[in-house]
Amino acid sequence: IFAGMTLLFSAIGVLVSRWMSKRALQPVEIAYNLQKEFVSNASHELRTPLSVILSATEALGMESDKSNPFREKMLGTLKHEVKRMSGLITELLALAKSDSEQAAVKLRKEQFDIRPAAEQMVESFTNAIRAKGLSLKLDAPVPIEVVGDRDKLIQLMYILTDNAIKYTPSGGHVEIKLKKQNHKKHDDFLFSVSDTGIGISPEDQKKIFERFYRADKTRSRKEGGYGLGLSIAQSIAETHGGAIKVESTPDRGSVFSVAIPFEAETAQLGRAAEPSV
Ligand code: ADP
């Protein structure tokens, strides 16, 4: 009888806890689906103005005015960023549609020098940096040959740099470091962005890589964003077999560091195949 009672009680316990967890999950699931739907709709909606901006920029570019180098430079930046944004939107759409984040990230690996992309990125952020009165330093060797998906690694750099600029009040400093570390069997591409910004509390540091999570709502809300950047950044680092981490002190600043490993031989092969001058 005693054994039977124990069995009965534990069965009831299991049923009750299942019922409770099911009920507790429902609002979370609803919110998650709503957010997915929102991202999908927003991506669709963004495409239309973006294609208008792109064709207008291209039309302006056709009337080239070599006597105005500033105009030419700004047009170049505009075109570059609009194209990049349309790529990002396509990706966001894929991310919202797919059930697994990893499935959306398909890598096209190649060997390339990432330094020019970092310079172009700094160029693109020049206006934002000036407008906020920040200083920025890019610390990278020339060249810095890495192996990985070019667009994705560049996107990863943009996400971290954009955040550093967004979450650093005027007068602050942002530093971007790119370097390569050689090991016996593989190389590591190391990328870090440090800022002297608002920082992130230890509790928030555990959650900021989750989709849609935004720390300290009141302060972050001032800066537009949906809490997607870092989850995409993490997914890019991890699909490359790498990792991303954060070190931060509230009101002092943050350092986001990424390590992406790649086969040293791949880079050697690529280098050997280059024509010697
Ligand atoms: P978003 O910036 O769009 O909100 P992210 O996923 O890129 O989304 O970042 C998630 C949250 O992490 C941000 O809302 C912000 O609270 C915090 N965060 C990210 N980068 C920094 C940074 N460099 N300094 C301070 N807080 C940051």
**pLDDT by residue (tens digit) across 191-232?**
999 999 999 999 999 999 988 788 876 565 566 677 788 988
Ligand 1 within 6 A of CB of 160: no
Ligand 1 within 6 A of CB of 229: yes
How far does the centroid of ligand 1 lie from the alpha carbon of residue 15, in Å? 40
Least confident of 63-77, 81-95, 261-275: 261-275
* For the CA of 219, the nearest atom of ligand 1: 16
Residue 30 has pLDDT above 80, yes or no: no
C-alpha span between 216 and 166 (Å, rounded): 14
C-alpha span between 233 and 158 (Å, rounded): 9
> Which helix or strand (DSSP H or E) is residue 20 part of?
helix 2-62
pTM value is 0.72
Q: Which of 167, 216, 235 to mutate to test the pocket of ligand 1 (most atoms within 8 A of CB)?
A: 167
Nearest CA among 123, 52, 131, 48 for reference residue 89: 48
- What tens digit of pLDDT does each residue of 149-187 get? 998 999 999 999 999 999 999 999 999 999 999 888 889
Cα dihedral: 110, 114, 117, 122 (round 10): 150
Give the up-direction half-sphere exposure of residue 130: CA atoms within 13 A in the CB hemisphere: 6
Ligand 1 within 6 A of CB of 39: no
How far does the centroid of ligand 1 lie from the alpha carbon of residue 252, in Å? 15
C-alpha span between 140 and 230 (Å, rounded): 23
Tokens 């970092």 -> residue: 118
How far does the centroid of ligand 1 lie from the alpha carbon of residue 120, in Å? 23
Least confident of 12-21, 68-77, 130-139, 260-269: 12-21
Crossing angle (nearest 10°) for helices 69-97 and 115-132: 100
Ligand 1 within 6 A of CB of 242: no
Give the rounded distance of the alpha carbon of 29 from its chain centre. 25
**Which tokens is 189 given?**
């591409």
Largest CA distance in the chain: 97
